[in-house]
Amino acid sequence: MKELEERIQKDGRVLGADVLKVDSFLNHQVDPALMQRMGQEFYQYFQNYPITKILTVESSGIAPAVMAGLAFQVPVVFARKHKSITMNNDLYVADVYSFTKKTSNKISISKKFLAADDHVLIIDDFLANGQAVAGLTDIIQQAGANLEGIGIVIEKSFQKGRKLIEEQQIPILSLARIKAFVDGQVVFETE
């Protein structure tokens, strides 16, 4: 998505070897008009899939996920994060390891909001090592629901997540695909 790539070039900041800070439009302050256009991009790509529900993880996935839900006219469910969680039969629970923060968290979704007849599109803000997507995929399997595809705002193609998803042959659309950071500059994949 050209608009997103230009926004990343204009407002993104590269931190260290592999982190892109996009606080001014995605991860802290949010640009609603851009989010809406991204929701429409996800819709255009996945409109012929029988999507009944959008899943994401709190907190930064929620804004793009809600705009995708608006475009598809389906509900949006965000998994909640917990440091620890006691046994609860009302929840689907999965582990998510963060390589960035070197901590493991559990995520959960209430069984009320995901069923075996659901066809799910996962939306998230970043794809790095793919652990958030793996946790959501685990929960979708627990529910016996169907994973139709994955929509990502910013993919760092040089990390593990993209390959993990391709190996499972799950349809994926990333609106911006970053090939590398070179001297503090963002280099995008070219089609």
List residues near ligand G4P by CB under 6 A: 19-22, 27, 57, 59-61, 98-100, 125-132, 156, 161
Comparison of 141 and 163: residue with beta carbon closer to ligand G4P = 163
Among ligand G4P, Na ion, none, partner that 12 touches (CB below 5 to 8 angstroms by kind): none
Query: 98 in helix, strand or coil?
Result: strand
Q: Near Na ion by CB under 5 A, which window of 54-62, 68-76, 88-96, 159-167?
A: 54-62
Give yes or no for a contact between 52 and 74, defined as CB atoms under 8 angstroms apart. yes
> Which of 41, 118, 125, 148 contacts Na ion by CB under 5 A?
125
Q: Any binding-site annotation on 29?
A: no
Q: Which is nearer to ligand G4P, 89 or 101 (CB)?
A: 101
Query: Which phi and psi (to 5°) does residue 89 adopt?
Result: -75, -10
User: With 0-12 CB in 10 A as exposed, 13-18 as middle and 19+ as buried, what is 81?
Assistant: middle
Give the residue numbers of the binding site: 20, 27, 128-132, 156
